[in-house]
Amino acid sequence: MENKPLWTITRVLEWTKQYFANKGIENPRLDAEILLCAVLKCERITLYVHFDQPLDDTELAEYRSYVTRRANQEPLAYILGTKAFMKHSFKVTPAVLVPRPETELLVESVAKAAVGAGAENLLDIGTGSGAIIVSLLDLLPQSRGTAVDISAAALVVAGENAENIGVSERLTLVESDLFSKLDCNKKFDIIVSNPPYIPAAAIAGLAADVQKEPLGALDGGADGLDFYRRIVSGCEIWLQPDGLLAFEVGIDQAQSVCQLCRQAGLIVTAVRKDYAEIERMVFATREGT
Ligand code: GLN
């Protein structure tokens, strides 16, 4: 009888690395390891310690289904159902954008500013998974938050994350197209947003896995700036005088967003870069009266 080689951890990873590479996956070996860890419920180091351990049929079947999905360009975070952001593991589904590491810098900057200003009421526009507002409330135990999103499905995810991370009692979720469902008499100390900012014509050129994320979380209109225009124009009503407006922006958009802020009578206080030295955040304030 012929002896078939066993699907050991090493063999599985080598095979998948090649398969993913052929499918144009950016980090083939890493993705293979992460998916295998999800099946084996172990840390990556374990794959190296037990490299010659064979997978059983159940493990192989589950792993194969993950590999097929990833090869089909499904984002890793949707397959795993979670994404690490700041201190926590956030639930993610195809209803929400996968939180990005750059956005952690936005959270850190806003948290620092909030502590300095004693900010109590925070608004997150287009909250998606809730990664920004939930992380902020986790860092700022004295603050309360409102999170809006046009997508009811996204708000369900944000609500679950708020619950899991223990901030749900301080967070109000509102299904709303930007400010439209908010009380006109309420003002916020901080308005933060990572709105959709990809210019419509650039969507087709995004990586295949990014294109599996919700279009509504990516498409910022013809020049990518539609949501900044609308948010900036709402600041007169909803941003507290001396309050902070904090945006994540796309590549080459920072100066245009600064200009939009100034045109709306806001004062730009800072532009900050991300890890890749790209101007990624714009901060502005509304003059006190
Ligand atoms: N950062 C995302 C990307 O580069 C875009 C998110 C957004 O439009 N706010 O794909």
- pLDDT, residue 3, reads 73
pLDDT at 89 over 80: yes
Tokens of 213: 């994320």
CA of 275 to the centre of ligand 1 (A): 15
For the chain, the average pLDDT equals: 96
User: Which residues form ligand 1's pocket by a CB distance below 6 Å?
Assistant: 97, 100, 194-198, 210, 218
The residue whose C-alpha atom lies closest to atom 7 belonging to ligand 1 is 196
Mutation pick for ligand 1 pocket among 97, 104, 278 (CB with most ligand atoms within 8 Å): 97
- pLDDT, residue 135, reads 98
Residue bearing the bigger pLDDT, 119 or 226: 226
Partnered with residue 247 across adjacent β-strands are 193, 282
Measured CA to CA, the distance from residue 282 to residue 270 in angstroms comes to 6
Residue 94 banded pLDDT, cuts 50, 70, 90:
very high
The residue whose C-alpha atom lies closest to atom 4 belonging to ligand 1 is 250
Q: Are 187 and 117 in contact (CB under 8 A)?
A: no
In the block, tokens 């896995």 appear at 209
